[in-house]
Amino acid sequence: MPLQGFAYLGSMAPRSRSPARRVEALRARIRRHDEYYYQRNRPVISDAAYDRLVLELRRLEAAHPELVTPDSPTQRVAGRAAGPFASVRHAAPMLSLEATRDNETIEAFVTRVAKAAGGASDLILEPKLDGLSVEVVYRSGRLSSAATRGDGTTGEDVTANVRTIDSVPPTLRGTRGAAPAMVSIRGEMLMSRSAFARMNRALVVRGEEPFANPRNAAAGSLRQLDPRVTASRPLRFVAYEVLAARGVTFTTDAQVLAAFRRWGLAIPEHVERQRAVEAIARYHRRLEGRREQMDYEIDGIVLKTNALDARARLGATGHHPRWAMAWKFEPRSETTMVEDIVFQVGRTGVLTPVALLRPVDVSGVTVSRATLHNLTELSRRDVKVGDRVRIHRAGDVIPEIVERRRGARRKKARIPAKCPACKARLSRQGPFLRCDNRWECPAQLVGALRNLARDEAFSIAGLGEEVARRLVRSGMVRRIPDLFTLTAADIRRLPGFAAKSSAKLANEVARARRVDLPHFLVGLGLPGVGRAMARGLADAFGSLAALRAASVAQLDAVRDVGAVEAATIHAALNDRRIRALIDGFVRAGVRVRAVREAPTRRAGALAGRRIAFTGVLPTLSRAEASRLAEEGGARVTESVSAALDYLVAGSEPGSKADKARRAGVAIIDERRFLRLLRGGSG
Ligand code: IVH
């Protein structure tokens, strides 16, 4: 169970002595979590923590039957399945997996399975995917229903939503009129890390709340009342089990997986068949080592008996099958102390509360800070100086506080009344505190310089956080364009600079004065304008002058720009101070190159885009894919850098995918690539 939200939210409150009061408190808490789960789609405690609350309530009610009321959460038929979706009964129970972290349990499992099979038996090894379990049912080859796992017997009917997901084909492929009468398929609904990061950025731009992790994002995206919302979310379904079937029989799991592939369903990557404990241990180590490089989250491996007759003999307990086992990875979380809570001023003036932690090693990385996001989160999580917190690190995502235990002497964070960097007035915008000194606040200037130096912007090597800080502190940069007036001699006056290093940075700055429009727009730091949108704007308007003159309607018509973004960009471009800023750049010698000819759709759907490939694509050879991309007007490159627009990844993507993820490049699969070629939005 991944850590999600905040497991101790309220649950550390002292237990009241009277059972009646405790029962009431538990009911209130369960209802509150139901609301987080159903109405807001953002559970703040793990399923296990929720189950513990329900269990405690059940026990109390069993001991005190007089306290049972008809509206108690325990009186609902199927626990959490009673949400806004209709309930559906699964074709067969969706059991959970027995999970372990130690070798001995795995050895015992392998021995037990071998005995049932009358000799060593093949095990299918798969990654344990960290999404949510979903059942999809096909009748006569047509998708007929889909449901979340729910309580294992009954789930939520999410058929309409699942119909919008590309990786769930509407009909089973390759059955040539001989599709099975019914097949119920279990699999995992996932969101890739790169898609998750992109979606969260988009949510933030629209002023919506981002999701805590890919798993919550997948769950929240699937459990939408409006299927159009689900359709817009990058979900992916990976099939791994047949729950029930009529009109088709299998004798091994390997056959099942082969059938899934034939039918056009994705199956887990890295599937292996092994029987020796050592080989299983090697597989576990290998996947644990690769975990961070994968574009989706996994939290262990799953071992399953390959022979289905052996499965039948082994059977199941009430909760899990005896023929399967999950071998989990070591958790990527550790506990430590909150030593202080400070407010950090970002590029746009927003103050982010940050917990300063006693440094702790979390799976090989020293973590000493964790974001508390904003004021609302700070008070919701109720983290105070002196508390013990559990820190979770998932991939290259910023460390998150996932649990907190109150310290004996805890101190509330001091909410600043003035900007900690420039002492200017602060204003409150919803959950955010913002420094009003937008143009002179040194912290904002440092942030703006860092943004300017990024590869996607002016790309100035050597202008890191520390150098930016020195430039601002020395007074050499009071307004962002000042950077472009600096000479080597100026830079040399900064602490830490010698003749060579100052000449180098001055050269970089001089080179950066010539910049093309998309890079300029990213560097300018307009709200919500990232790489893709900057390119869209540049392609549409061609020059800075034309863009500055654009109307809201013209902006709205641009690819990747929505109505809200169009209005924001228009307001920014017409803001007196931003106009002055742009003029300042020009006065400081910055020359913004116009885009020569705006590529049109006819010139190829991928005109002007840079694209690279990695891994084995499901249907296209590398040569075919490259040819198609080039015909579509794209430039195909071998290497991955921030300048890339898309990395098309197949199975076994390797280090390129990792690099692309770090560079913030969109990683897409073959299907999306083909859609882009046809002129779709990907
Ligand atoms: S097999 C019970 N295979 O892990 C046997 N499950 O409780 C059927 N999971 O809810 C499950 N990856 O959603 C299987 N490759 C995989 C899996 C997998 C993830 C999930 C499943 C289940 C949870 C464990």
| Ligand 1 in reach of 175 Cβ (< 6 A) | no
Distance CA 126, CA 270 (A): 7
**pLDDT tens-digit profile of 121-147?**
899 999 999 999 999 999 999 999 999
Q: How confident is the model at residue 13 (pLDDT cuts 50, 70, 90)?
A: very low
| Ligand 1 in reach of 90 Cβ (< 6 A) | no
SS3 455: coil
SS in 3 state form for 25-41?
A: HHHHHHHHHHHHHHCCC
Dig out the tokens for 44 from the structure: 């703040």
Scan for tokens 């300042």, then name that residue. 584
The best mutation among 90, 128, 184, 294 to test binding of ligand 1, ranked by most ligand atoms within 8 Å of the C-beta, falls on 128
Q: Whose CA is nearest to atom 18 of ligand 1?
A: 128
pLDDT at res. 12: 35
Mean pLDDT calculated for residue range 516-526 = 93
DSSP 121-184: --EEEEEEE-SEEEEEEEETTEEEEEEE-TTSSEEEB-HHHHTT-TTS-SB-TT-TT---SEEE
Dig out the tokens for 360 from the structure: 């702790």
Q: Phi and psi for 68 in degrees, rounded to 5?
A: -70, 130
**pLDDT tens-digit profile of 563-589?**
888 999 999 999 999 999 999 999 999
**Does position 201 have pLDDT exceeding 90, yes or no?**
no
| Ligand 1 in reach of 188 Cβ (< 6 A) | yes
SS3 77: coil
**pLDDT tens-digit profile of 87-121?**
999 999 999 999 998 899 999 999 999 998 888 88
**Does position 392 have pLDDT exceeding 50, yes or no?**
yes
> For the packed helices 47-63 and 19-38, what is the interaxial angle rounded to 10 degrees?
150
Longest dimension (CA), the chain: 84
Distance (Å) from CA 156 to ligand 1 centroid: 18
| Ligand 1 in reach of 157 Cβ (< 6 A) | no
Distance (Å) from CA 269 to ligand 1 centroid: 14
Distance (Å) from CA 97 to ligand 1 centroid: 6
Dig out the tokens for 660 from the structure: 């692309």
SS3 565: helix
Distance (Å) from CA 235 to ligand 1 centroid: 17
Q: Is 304 a catalytic residue?
A: no
Distance (Å) from CA 99 to ligand 1 centroid: 10
| Ligand 1 in reach of 95 Cβ (< 6 A) | yes
Q: Which of 279, 295, 189, 305 is nearest to 237 (CA)?
A: 189
Bridge partner list, 392: 333, 400
Q: What is the mean pLDDT of the chain?
A: 87
Task: Name all domains of the chain by residue range, CATH numbers in brackets.
Answer: 19-75 (1.10.287.610), 99-328 (3.30.470.30), 333-433 (2.40.50.140), 440-597 (1.10.150.20), 610-677 (3.40.50.10190)
pLDDT at res. 377: 87
The best mutation among 94, 97, 284 to test binding of ligand 1, ranked by most ligand atoms within 8 Å of the C-beta, falls on 97
Mean pLDDT calculated for residue range 362-370 = 84
Q: Is 289 exposed, middle or buried (0-12, 13-18, 19+ CB in 10 A)?
A: exposed
Select the more confidently predicted residue: 407 or 393: 407
Active-site position among 128, 328, 656, 659: 128
| Ligand 1 in reach of 669 Cβ (< 6 A) | no
Distance (Å) from CA 124 to ligand 1 centroid: 13
Select the more confidently predicted residue: 394 or 20: 20
The percent of residues above 70 in pLDDT, for the chain, comes to 92
Q: How confident is the model at residue 339 (pLDDT cuts 50, 70, 90)?
A: very high
| Ligand 1 in reach of 573 Cβ (< 6 A) | no
Question: What is the DSSP code (8-state) at residue 600?
Answer: P
| Ligand 1 in reach of 298 Cβ (< 6 A) | no
| Ligand 1 in reach of 302 Cβ (< 6 A) | yes
Dig out the tokens for 112 from the structure: 């037990």
DSSP 273-335: EE-SHHHHHHHHHHHHHHGGGSSS-EEEEEEEESBHHHHHHH-B-SSSBTTEEEEEPPPSEEE
SS3 525: coil
Distance (Å) from CA 149 to ligand 1 centroid: 11
Select the more confidently predicted residue: 40 or 518: 518
pTM: 0.52
pLDDT at res. 3: 28
Q: Which of 332, 324, 331, 382 is nearest to 353 (CA)?
A: 382
Dig out the tokens for 183 from the structure: 């097949």
Instruction: Ligand 1, residue 95: give the atom nearest the CA.
Output: 2
Q: How confident is the model at residue 629 (pLDDT cuts 50, 70, 90)?
A: confident
The neighbour count for residue 511, using CB atoms within 10 Å, is: 13
| Ligand 1 in reach of 214 Cβ (< 6 A) | no
**pLDDT tens-digit profile of 457-516?**
999 999 999 999 999 999 999 999 999 999 999 999 999 999 999 999 999 999 999 999
Q: How confident is the model at residue 681 (pLDDT cuts 50, 70, 90)?
A: low
pLDDT at res. 372: 92
**Does position 49 have pLDDT exceeding 90, yes or no?**
no
CB–CB of 113/105 below 8 Å? Answer: no
SS3 43: coil
Dig out the tokens for 651 from the structure: 């199975």
Mean pLDDT calculated for residue range 637-661 = 85
pLDDT at res. 384: 96
**pLDDT tens-digit profile of 16-29?**
468 888 998 898 88
- Tell me which H or E stretch contains 336: strand 333-345
Q: ∠283-663-572 over CA atoms, to 5°? A: 145
**pLDDT tens-digit profile of 399-425?**
888 888 899 999 999 999 999 999 999
pLDDT at res. 2: 30
278 contact partners, CB below 8 Å, separation of at least 6: none
Bridge partner list, 428: 433
**Does position 243 have pLDDT exceeding 80, yes or no?**
yes
pLDDT at res. 284: 97
Question: What is the DSSP code (8-state) at residue 398?
Answer: P
pLDDT at res. 368: 93
Q: Whose CA is nearest to atom 13 of ligand 1?
A: 133
The neighbour count for residue 514, using CB atoms within 10 Å, is: 12
